[in-house]
Each structure stands twice: as structure tokens, then as C-alpha cells.
Amino acid sequence: MTVQDVQLARVGEEDRSFLGTGWSFPPAFERLRRGAAAQEGHEFRAALVSAERDIEQSLRILLATNPGERVMQPAYGCGIKRMVFEQLNESKLTEIRHLVEQAILFFEPRITVNAVVLDTSELLEGVLPIHIDYTVRTTNSRTNIVFPLYLREGTGVGPGAA
């Protein structure tokens, strides 16, 4: 790899920073290299994510948050957790899909949702995987995530627990 390749790679990273940079989730800290910041007594900093990784983590946070959990943004969240105790028929599955699409539409403007697919093949195991296919608007790159909606407590405690 030449110096020019490294410089081009850095430019590519900087050009993608417009997609956003934020704290990693769950929050993590990384040790700084020796330098001015470390000499001033700052040995650690918050780990940051950017570009597509930031969007993916934002989506996971959005889907895991219930409306009303954030004091300064009471409407933020998805509300799919309230479906955990519902009888999952076609109507409720459609409602879950709608909740996911609406939450992303209102709270994640960096992407366009192409499809939300609910995989009911694992319902007996207590999980409903939500497949979200989306396009990042500014780069026109298409990607997807799978968000597991757990319908059963996963403690592994009790008779027959493996």
C-alpha cells in the first residue's frame, strides 16, 4: 500500500463523516495513544462510530426504545415492545411492521426503508426477527439489519434450561 493509497483511504473516511458520528452503543471507552491529550491527564475517550455503523446503531436504539422513555423527546421510539404479550396474528404482525416503518420514517431521516419483513419461522423459539432492508439516501448504498424481538424471557433459568 502506497502513501497515496493511505491518503485516499483517509479522504474516503472523511467524506463519509457527513452521515454522522456518535457514541458507540453500548457506550465504550478507548485508551488514547501517547500524545498531547494523554499528557494533559486524558487517558480515555468515548468510542465513536460514524457513517453506516452509526446509522445501524441508531436504528437498533430506535427499535429498542419505547415512546415516552426519553424525557426530552417523548415521541421518540418504536413501541414494538408492547406487542410482546399480544396474540400474534396477521393483524398484529402488520401493526408491528407499521410501527417499525413509522418510527424509521419520523426519526431516521438518513435512510429510506425498502422493506420490512417479519420472519415468523422462529416464533415457537420465542423470537420474531425483523429484517429491515434500507438505502442510505446520501450515498445510495443499500444494506440491511436484523432486529430480534424477543417474545419470551431469555434468562435460561428453570427446569430444562440448557
Domain annotation for the chain: domains and CATH numbers = 18-150 (3.10.450.40)
Q: Which of 46, 100, 80, 101 is nearest to 151 (CA)?
A: 80
| pLDDT for 160 beyond 80 | no
For the segment 20-78, what is each residue's pLDDT rounded down to a tens digit? 677 666 777 778 776 655 556 667 777 777 778 888 989 999 999 999 999 999 999 99
Distances (CA, A) of 130 to 83, 84, 102, 143: 13, 14, 14, 14
pTM of the model: 0.73
Helix (H, G, I), strand (E, B) or coil at 113: strand
Using alpha carbons only, give the angle 141, 15, 37 rounded to the nearest 5 degrees: 125
**Other beta carbons less than 10 A from residue 142's beta carbon:** 12
For the segment 98-157, what is each residue's pLDDT rounded down to a tens digit? 999 999 999 999 999 999 999 999 988 889 999 999 999 989 999 999 999 998 765 555
